[in-house]
């Protein structure tokens, strides 16, 4: 890894073993992108790639009369001079002008990576990364702009963000401040997004790019289940096993855009950042605005390789604290077992059975506080309901601990029910527009987390409950979109800051709780997977992936999620049948075979299943205990897509390639069809492996594949709906 500055040509070359990122000071003084892609040799001057010929109807820089931003790849383009594509930022000056001209001023190259204050971001020490900071100045605007680039050792990754500072004497407004732009010389790419809604999150969708704009966004306050802040641009033909692709992952949990703009001259631009819609950030003298980070990763080896890059990078350089690279406890959550209708006694009964099954952690979900007996009341009143918990959380946690289980509970700190003491006392603490009605979501309003006093108050209440008990885990939920985004505490010209300040408030509450209770494992949740993003992973190393716990739907949801997020971050549980979201009845083994590929746990009352099933549950728990380190942290390969087949398969391989675990699922029976073969990946071709009592070479398993009919001995066939197997492959 290195960052080279060539003073004569005024060019930077960031490179490691796998990629090169080359940036130059353009003839206009702005920054141009000279190359992004597979590692190439360094040279003193790459300016030959700049296009400096006249073209009809193209405007050029007034000083050079030959350079046009529009015809060259930009680093962080503005609109209004010689570029007409999607802009990375916009500054409105005091006189109303929105034209800017940020030119190279200075730079700094350093080892490691600095944190971004108040925001989640990847981190690295001095040996693990290098960072380039390029300072650009617009003297007329009195503004400085720093573009940050971090290159990591051993990862085909560059992390980018930007920082604006008002160094002049007049007020300016930032009306758009995206995190990154990457321009490509051609448009032969497919765009892959991960879309959905409640209970069907992160379903991959692919479209071919051409001229014009393709974009996704969130304006819901959270990153959303509708569009995930992760996009892949891939060459047509690139699949999980081969081909080029570039990923863009936004380390942020609020409103965002991801946009590709194909110019009619043949260039392609990709930009990503905070959604500029309704965003406006005034900057007084000496004030700064720092954007969140975009993590750009590339591959020339297919999408499994791209995903593995994100998995490893996020496990090693985003997730922090005690739970970094630590296998996760197997838990039992009472939500689908009881909903809010429980007593301490009924909870202890479920927990005690969980203990018998070998489960390690019990989680008390919604309903333990205030008047929370249904969706209509109690949010905001983070005090135990004595009818349900006579000795409070402290009493219950003691009893659960006495059973030999760790204990955790559910919170939804950003919300308030109109029917709550908190709302009655502080009706102005919600996001709402005076004089207008406030929309409800699940009968609740959103607290104004852009205000410090609101965050302080919630912190105080939660701190008290947590401190009084022995708490190992917290599930942090967020169950509605933000609407009527207005803060009564904020002056008119600062209302455009509220949505982002809300997210900063959420991050600050997380930071304070993590600081106070560093050993707690946080699991984020937002009506399932409505806020499953890289920003959250910085605070909560795992996320409840979806409220849809049906095994068949979960294969799709977890498969889609695996493109951008580590397997260990995917909250996945076995739940009861008929499934409460889909009504589908699936065997207990497929429910576990799917849930293994994530955090693993149970979302049901184990007292309600048969003795025979209970014996199976014990075996499942044992299996996961033995194999979770490999499943959660091994190299994950998608093998067969549930979006293109009636079957799905995936596998994990240990780093030393000595052990692998394969999961195979039959979503829909294929009557009278040959079972066929399943080609594996990631093994050592020369190693001999044992699978189901027989031995095979790695190359046999990867090139010929597993003979699926071999599993018919175990009762598995592909002509049975919901049949599945998980098998271990070990070096002989
Ligand atoms: C959300 C979560 C569920 C559960 C409920 C509790 O829907 O996604 O897992 O915690 O809230 O109200």
pLDDT tens digit sequence for 468-495? 999 999 999 999 999 999 999 999 999 9
* 85 CA distance to ligand 1 middle (Å): 42
**pLDDT of 138 above 90:** yes
* 473 CA distance to ligand 1 middle (Å): 16
CA dihedral of 181, 65, 98, 253, whole degrees rounded to 10: 0
Q: Which residue owns the Cα nearest ligand 1 atom 2? A: 527
Cis preceding-peptide flag for 578 (omega within 30 of 0) = yes
Q: What is the pLDDT of residues 142-159, one digit of tens each?
A: 999 999 999 999 999 999
Distance of CA 34 to the CA centre of its chain: 29
Q: Which CATH number fits domain 2-318: 2.70.98.60, 3.90.870.10, 3.40.50.80, 3.60.20.10?
A: 2.70.98.60
Q: Quick one: pLDDT band at residue 54, thresholds 50, 70, 90?
A: confident
Exposure string (b/e) for 512-548, b if CB count within 10 Å is 16 or more?
Answer: bbbeebeebbbbbbbbbbbbbbbbbbbbbbbbbbbbb
| Shared fold status for 2-318 and 640-731 | no
Q: Would you give the DSSP letter of residue 116? A: P
* 91 CA distance to ligand 1 middle (Å): 41
**pLDDT of 53 above 90:** no
SS3 for 124-148, per residue? CCCCCEEEEEEEEEECCCCEEEEEE
Q: Is the CB of 16 under 6 A from ligand 1?
A: no
* 424 CA distance to ligand 1 middle (Å): 24
Q: At what angle do helices 588-595 and 611-633 cross, to 10 degrees?
A: 20
Retrieve residue 504's tokens: 């900063």
* 528 CA distance to ligand 1 middle (Å): 7
CB-CB contact of 514 with 321 (8 Å): yes
Q: At what angle do helices 452-467 and 498-516 cross, to 10 degrees?
A: 30
Q: Is the CB of 528 under 6 A from ligand 1?
A: yes
Compute the distance between CA of residue 313 and CA of residue 121 in angstroms, rounded to an integer. Answer: 11
Compute the distance between CA of residue 521 and CA of residue 472 in angstroms, rounded to an integer. Answer: 6
CB-CB contact of 599 with 540 (8 Å): no
Mutate to test the pocket of ligand 1, among 342, 366, 377, 554 (most ligand atoms within 8 A of CB): 366
Retrieve residue 525's tokens: 């949740």
Q: What is the pLDDT of residues 588-601, one digit of tens each?
A: 999 999 999 999 99
Q: Is the CB of 478 under 6 A from ligand 1?
A: no
Q: Is the CB of 410 under 6 A from ligand 1?
A: yes
* Ligand 1 nearest-atom number relative to CA 528: 8
* Ligand 1 nearest-atom number relative to CA 365: 10
Q: Is the CB of 305 under 6 A from ligand 1?
A: no
Compute the distance between CA of residue 353 and CA of residue 606 in angstroms, rounded to an integer. Answer: 6
* 527 CA distance to ligand 1 middle (Å): 6
According to the CATH classification, is domain 322-554+569-622 in 3.40.50.300?
A: no
Cis preceding-peptide flag for 115 (omega within 30 of 0) = no
Compute the distance between CA of residue 17 and CA of residue 309 in angstroms, rounded to an integer. Answer: 14
Q: Is the CB of 485 under 6 A from ligand 1?
A: no
Give the residue numbers annotated as catalytic, written as ranges: 477, 547
Q: What is the pLDDT of residues 327-361, one digit of tens each?
A: 999 999 999 999 999 999 999 999 999 999 999 99
Q: What is the pLDDT of residues 380-439, one digit of tens each?
A: 999 999 999 999 999 999 999 999 999 999 999 999 999 999 999 999 999 999 999 999
Q: How many helices (H) and strands (E) does the chain have?
A: 12, 39
CB-CB contact of 292 with 251 (8 Å): yes
Segment (H or E) for 37: strand 31-38
CATH fold group of domain 640-731? Immunoglobulin-like (2.60.40)
Q: What is the pTM of this model?
A: 0.98
pLDDT of residue 185: 97
Residue written as token pair 């981190």? 123
Neighbours of 403 (CB within 10 A): 15
Largest CA distance in the chain: 83
* 416 CA distance to ligand 1 middle (Å): 15
- By the 10 Å C-beta count (0-12 exposed, 13-18 middle, 19+ buried), 715 is classed as exposed
Q: Count CA atoms closer than 13 A to 128's CA, side-chain side.
A: 9
Cross-strand pairs, 652: 636, 661
Q: Is the CB of 525 under 6 A from ligand 1?
A: yes
* Ligand 1 nearest-atom number relative to CA 526: 8
What DSSP string describes 595-620? HTSSS-EEES-GGGS-HHHHHHHHHH
Q: Is the CB of 365 under 6 A from ligand 1?
A: yes
Mutate to test the pocket of ligand 1, among 547, 581, 601 (most ligand atoms within 8 A of CB): 547
Average pLDDT of span 557-585:
98
pLDDT of residue 42: 97
Q: Which residue owns the Cα nearest ligand 1 atom 11? A: 527
* Domain boundary assignment for the chain: 2-318, 322-554+569-622, 640-731
Residue written as token pair 């959550």? 333
- Mean pLDDT of the chain, nearest integer: 97
Q: Is the CB of 726 under 6 A from ligand 1?
A: no
Q: Which residue owns the Cα nearest ligand 1 atom 6? A: 366
Q: Is the CB of 366 under 6 A from ligand 1?
A: yes
Retrieve residue 338's tokens: 């009881």
């Amino acid at each position: 890894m290195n960052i080279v500055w060539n003073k004569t040509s005024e060019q930077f070359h960031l490179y490691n073993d796998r990629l090169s990122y080359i940036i130059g000071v353009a003839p206009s003084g702005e920054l141009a992108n000279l190359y992004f892609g597979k590692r190439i040799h360094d040279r003193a001057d790459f300016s030959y790639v700049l296009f400096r010929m006249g073209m009809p109807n193209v405007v050029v820089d007034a000083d050079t009369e030959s350079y046009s931003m529009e015809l060259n790849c930009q680093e962080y383009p503005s609109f209004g001079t010689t570029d007409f594509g999607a802009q990375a930022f916009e500054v409105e000056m005091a006189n109303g002008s929105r034209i800017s001209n940020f030119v190279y001023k200075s730079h700094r190259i350093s080892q490691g990576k600095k944190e971004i204050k108040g925001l989640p971001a990847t981190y690295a020490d001095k040996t693990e990364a290098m960072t380039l900071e390029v300072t650009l100045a617009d003297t007329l605007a009195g503004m400085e702009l720093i573009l940050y680039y971090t290159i990591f050792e051993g990862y085909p990754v560059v992390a980018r963000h930007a920082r604006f500072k008002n160094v002049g004497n007049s007020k300016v407004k930032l009306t758009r401040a995206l995190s990154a732009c990457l321009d490509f010389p051609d448009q032969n790419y497919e765009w892959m997004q991960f879309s959905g809604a409640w209970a069907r999150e992160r379903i991959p969708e692919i479209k071919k790019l051409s001229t014009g704009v393709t974009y996704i966004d969130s304006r819901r306050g959270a990153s959303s289940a509708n569009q995930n802040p992760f996009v892949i641009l891939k060459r047509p033909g690139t699949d999980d096993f081969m081909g080029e692709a570039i990923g863009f992952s936004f380390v942020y949990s609020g409103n965002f855009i991801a946009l590709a703009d194909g110019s009619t001259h043949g260039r392609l631009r990709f930009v990503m950042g905070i959604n500029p819609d309704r965003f406006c950030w005034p900057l007084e003298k000496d004030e700064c605005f720092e954007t969140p980070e975009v993590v750009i990763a590339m591959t020339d080896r297919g999408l499994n390789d791209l995903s593995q890059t994100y998995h490893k990078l996020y496990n090693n350089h985003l997730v922090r604290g005690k739970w970094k690279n630590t296998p996760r406890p197997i838990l039992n959550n009472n939500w689908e077992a009881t909903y809010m209708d429980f007593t301490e006694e009924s909870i202890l009964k479920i927990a005690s059975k969980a203990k018998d099954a070998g489960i390690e952690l019990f989680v008390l979900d919604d309903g333990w506080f205030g008047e929370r007996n249904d969706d209509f009341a109690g949010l905001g009143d983070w005090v135990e309901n004595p009818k349900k918990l006579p000795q409070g959380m402290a009493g219950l946690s003691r009893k659960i601990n006495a059973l030999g289980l760790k204990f955790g509970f559910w919170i939804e700190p950003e919300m308030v029910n109109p029917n709550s003491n908190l709302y009655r006392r502080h009706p102005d603490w919600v996001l709402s527009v005076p004089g207008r009605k406030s929309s409800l979501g699940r009968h609740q309003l959103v607290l104004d987390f852009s205000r410090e006093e609101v965050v302080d108050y919630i912190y105080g209440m939660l701190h008290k409950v947590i401190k009084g008990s022995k708490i190992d885990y917290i599930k942090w939920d967020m169950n509605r979109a933000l609407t009527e985004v207005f803060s009564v505490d904020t002056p008119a010209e600062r209302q455009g800051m509220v949505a982002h300040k809300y997210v900063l408030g959420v991050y600050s509450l997380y930071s304070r709780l993590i600081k106070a209770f560093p050993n707690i494992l946080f699991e984020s949740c937002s009506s399932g997977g409505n806020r499953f993003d890289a920003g959250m992973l910085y605070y909560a190393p795992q996320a409840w992936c979806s409220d849809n716990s049906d095994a068949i739907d979960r294969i799709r949801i977890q498969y889609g999620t695996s493109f951008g997020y580590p397997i260990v971050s995917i909250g996945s549980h076995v739940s009861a049948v008929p499934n409460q979201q889909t009504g589908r009845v699936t065997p207990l083994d497929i429910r576990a075979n799917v849930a293994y590929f994530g955090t693993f746990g149970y979302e049901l009352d184990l007292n309600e299943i048969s003795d025979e099933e209970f014996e199976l549950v014990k075996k499942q728990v044992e299996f996961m205990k033995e194999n979770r380190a490999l499943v959660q942290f091994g190299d994950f390969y998608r093998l067969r897509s549930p979006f293109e087949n009636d079957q799905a398969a995936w596998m994990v391989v240990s780093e030393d390639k000595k052990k692998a675990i394969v999961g195979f699922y039959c979503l829909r029976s294929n009557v009278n069809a040959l079972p066929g073969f399943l080609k594996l990946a990631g093994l050592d071709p020369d190693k001999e492996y044992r699978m189901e009592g027989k031995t095979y070479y790695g190359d046999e398993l990867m090139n010929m594949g597993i003979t699926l009919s071999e599993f018919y001995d175990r009762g598995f066939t592909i002509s049975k709906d919901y049949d599945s197997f998980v098998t271990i492959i070990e070096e002989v």
